[in-house]
Amino acid sequence: MKKHIIKQYESKYFDEWNAFISKAKNASFLFHRNFMEYHSDRFQDYSLLIFEEEKLIAVLPANRVGTTVYSHQGLTYGGLVYEEQTKLASVIAIFSAILLFLDQNGIEKMHIKTVPSIYHTKPSEEIQYALFLADAKLARRDTLSVIDLLQENTVAKGRKSSLKKATQNDLVIKEESDFEQFWNKILIPNLSERHNAKPVHTLEEITHLNELFPGNIIQFNVYHNDVIVAGATVFESTTVTHCQYISKFETNQTLSSLDFLFNFLVHKRFAKKRFFDFGSSNENQGKKLNEGLTYWKESFGASTIVHDFYEVETANYYKLDQAAI
């Protein structure tokens, strides 16, 4: 059995980490160190690099809270990241080595949020099997509303009717790099009034991230008579267009601004992307479903995939070593 060497991330690994992310089969730009470190003041980084001798074979974006390691609380998805040629038996051995390393360093539990399958450039669910072998517990399951753009998708009659009305309202869509109007005039007020919440990213943060990743983070605004009425912030990865934020003036129901915007995004701007991900409609760690929001997403032709979160005791590392026959 090949020996694995586990190292905690340090700034000296910045280039090597990012080079590895660029060729992994289950990664996205969210795992680039520039993205991960925009909120480094909020998290104690505990990211790991896994080597076979001198060769980097996997990375784990992670942070630590007490005796628990999370993959990574500041990211939408995470987990063990590895290359296309990495075999199932290798992932099992790598995960066993990680759990052993954590156990030896005073970490009792590990929480893993998996990378949803739509973000894989090739099938990459080896880690789910390794988690099963380690007796990991399913701690949370979110539902993502996703359109497979390579398939025929049925749009609900209500959406078609709203789109017809929208085309008569002289709406204009603009792709922009300025997030200020959407954040301050629509997103922040709506989240505050409806959910007593704030966006995950501040205006300064999303602007900074857009400067770092201009080809991946895009703002779309809808205007009526030169006044912003709706918008969406999109994160684009290799296989997926993901809506990070969606919001509109709630008083402008008759404009059908979001129907107009998403018809453009799905059927024109990102029509050649593999998947269009509206994101989750869950609350309370996946235990509650916003049925109205889910139905709205499904009316565009979206259907459901799940995003799983696991908890595993690091002392279970030995169970993976017993799996081979």
**Which one is predicted more confidently, 311 or 154?**
311
pLDDT for 121 beyond 70: yes
**Domain range for residue 86?**
4-140+308-321
Predicted confidence at residue 80, as pLDDT, reads 96
Predicted confidence at residue 254, as pLDDT, reads 76
The chain-wide mean pLDDT, for the chain, equals 94
The dihedrals phi and psi of 6, each to the nearest 5 degrees, come to: -105, 130
Instruction: Find the mean pLDDT for residues 290-318.
Output: 96
Predicted confidence at residue 250, as pLDDT, reads 65
Q: At 58, is the pLDDT very low, low, confident or very high (cuts 50, 70, 90)? A: very high
Domain contains 254: yes
Domain check: are 133 and 160 in the same one?
A: no
Euclidean distance between CA atoms 287 and 239, whole angstroms: 28
Domain check: are 14 and 136 in the same one?
A: yes
User: Residue 317 is which amino acid?
Assistant: Y
The token pair that represents 222 in the structure block: 């809808």
DSSP 269: I
Domain check: are 130 and 171 in the same one?
A: no
Euclidean distance between CA atoms 215 and 177, whole angstroms: 10
* E-state strands within the chain: 4-8, 44-45, 48-52, 55-60, 63-65, 68-71, 81-82, 109-113, 137-148, 171-176, 217-224, 227-236, 240-248, 275-280, 282-283, 288-289, 303-313
Domain check: are 188 and 72 in the same one?
A: no
pLDDT for 179 beyond 90: yes
Domain check: are 163 and 244 in the same one?
A: yes
Cβ atoms within 10 Å, residue 199: 20
Domain contains 303: no
Residue 73 belongs to a domain with what CATH number?
Answer: 3.40.630.30
Euclidean distance between CA atoms 221 and 261, whole angstroms: 8
Question: Domain count of the chain?
Answer: 2
Q: At 253, is the pLDDT very low, low, confident or very high (cuts 50, 70, 90)? A: low
Euclidean distance between CA atoms 322 and 314, whole angstroms: 15
Instruction: For residue range 10-23, list pLDDT tens digits in order.
Output: 999 999 999 999 99
Based on the number of CB atoms within 10 Å of its own CB, is 267 exposed (0-12), middle (13-18) or buried (19 or more)?
Answer: middle
Predicted confidence at residue 47, as pLDDT, reads 98
Domain contains 297: no
Domain check: are 8 and 135 in the same one?
A: yes
Instruction: Find the mean pLDDT for residues 187-203.
Output: 91
pLDDT for 314 beyond 70: yes
**Which one is predicted more confidently, 40 or 5?**
5
Domain contains 280: no
Predicted confidence at residue 252, as pLDDT, reads 55
- Range in 154-168, 207-221, 286-300 the model is least confident about: 154-168
Euclidean distance between CA atoms 236 and 28, whole angstroms: 9
Q: 318 has which bridge partners?
A: none
Domain check: are 18 and 99 in the same one?
A: yes
Cβ atoms within 10 Å, residue 227: 11
pLDDT for 27 beyond 80: yes
Residue partners of 293: CB distance under 8 A and separation at least 6? 281
Predicted confidence at residue 106, as pLDDT, reads 97
Cβ atoms within 10 Å, residue 212: 13
Q: At 251, is the pLDDT very low, low, confident or very high (cuts 50, 70, 90)? A: low
Proportion of the chain above pLDDT 90, given as a percent = 85
Predicted confidence at residue 146, as pLDDT, reads 98
Domain check: are 198 and 115 in the same one?
A: no
**Cα angle vertex 230, ends 157, 237, to 5°?**
85
Predicted confidence at residue 23, as pLDDT, reads 95
Euclidean distance between CA atoms 32 and 7, whole angstroms: 18
Instruction: Find the mean pLDDT for residues 216-229.
Output: 96
Domain check: are 157 and 114 in the same one?
A: no
Domain contains 109: yes
Domain check: are 50 and 75 in the same one?
A: yes
Domain check: are 57 and 174 in the same one?
A: no
Proportion of the chain above pLDDT 70, given as a percent = 98
Domain contains 69: yes
Predicted confidence at residue 289, as pLDDT, reads 96
pLDDT for 98 beyond 80: yes
pLDDT for 166 beyond 90: no
- Range in 152-156, 181-185, 287-291, 306-310 the model is least confident about: 152-156
Based on the number of CB atoms within 10 Å of its own CB, is 253 exposed (0-12), middle (13-18) or buried (19 or more)?
Answer: exposed
Euclidean distance between CA atoms 171 and 70, whole angstroms: 43
Domain check: are 245 and 133 in the same one?
A: no
Domain contains 214: yes
Which of 197, 219, 222, 198 shows the shortest CA–CA distance to 207? 219
pLDDT for 125 beyond 70: yes
Domain contains 285: no
Predicted confidence at residue 158, as pLDDT, reads 80
Q: At 39, is the pLDDT very low, low, confident or very high (cuts 50, 70, 90)? A: confident
Q: At 199, is the pLDDT very low, low, confident or very high (cuts 50, 70, 90)? A: very high
Do strands 63-65 and 137-148 pair parallel, antiparallel, or not at all (unpaired)? unpaired
Instruction: Find the mean pLDDT for residues 75-93.
Output: 95
